[in-house]
Structure 1
Amino acid sequence: MKTNFLSGLKLTVLCILFLSGTYTLFIWGMAQFAPNQGKGITIESNGVKFYKNIGQSFTEAKYFNSRPSAVDYNAAGSGGSNKGPSNPEYLATVQQRIDTFLILNPGTARKDIPADLVTASGSGLDPNISVAAAKIQVSRIAKIRNITETQLQNLIAVNTEKPVLMVFGPEKINVLQLNIALDNLK
């Protein structure tokens, strides 16, 4: 008993020192090499600071819509809804998002709506949408802003982020950057 107790106590003290000291300093040190020293990437527009790597809510029809969030874009409480695809409440929420999208984007077929426009991400803070999700909104935004669809297609092309090393991950578009560029169109 005494042998196990001392071994357990040593292991506990070692874990406390490592996890609350050494590991924390290691992670902090690694963050110093990240953009903005791990404090997030910020974008300033019209005197307002936004975090590029945290999803923002864009619901006005004149903007590209963001991916839905299960946590209302609250970075203090990242998380998904934890409801499976057979949950009736989840299915009702997704159906409501589809119906709203179809009302705002007349002429769009239900089957053409990209999943990332009607389902929340696992974190609820995804700042990106797919290229298809941006392109399906072009017609609506062109009509509201009285600009050509070609201008919007070019804006999407310029703001598309390629996969890492052209292999890892899909092409994506940061909605905040896209909407700021949209506001800056003359």
Structure 2
Amino acid sequence: MGSQWLVPIDIYFHQNNAEEHNSALELRDAVLHLRRDGAFVAVPLFRVNLSPIGPHPVGSYEIWCPSESFSSLFSYLCMNRGDLSVLVHPLTREERSDHDTRKAWIGPSYPLDLSVLPVKSETVPLQYPSLKLGYSSTKPPISLETRKVLGTNVENTLKGEKDAARAPTD
């Protein structure tokens, strides 16, 4: 997949629970404010699902997140999701695996209906290519040589840290 990818993040709420629904919308607004203020790039989809849809068993909405912002958005959601559950998964041509074996949950998990998802699609669905982020990035990926130099620099920097594990010397 390289260094450019994207992650759909699904925020779940019980659609008949007004308090959870409100909390989910408040979290969405907070993400939109933070995006506007430059904290990260995250695109909540306009549609909020007020009933189960696709593999999702309860009310939900999706936040599109490119690799360039993933760690910031993930950390924010970990700290600010309240009682909501959050499904995090990659977006590849293998949607069923993305929602089954490649998923992670922040908060309690929900059973998903994987039968509605294709095993393998012809293409990876591109979202917001105008942003030139994630799969649509125009930046070349970091080369293996550059990654090795960065890794060596980190190892050298940590030599004096007694609590840091050392990489194997192979």
TM-score category (smaller protein) = under 0.3
Greater relative CO (CA pairs within 8 A, separation 6+): 2
Name whichever structure is richer in strand by fraction.
Answer: 2
Please state which structure has a larger fraction of its residues in helix.
1
Larger Rg over CA atoms: 1
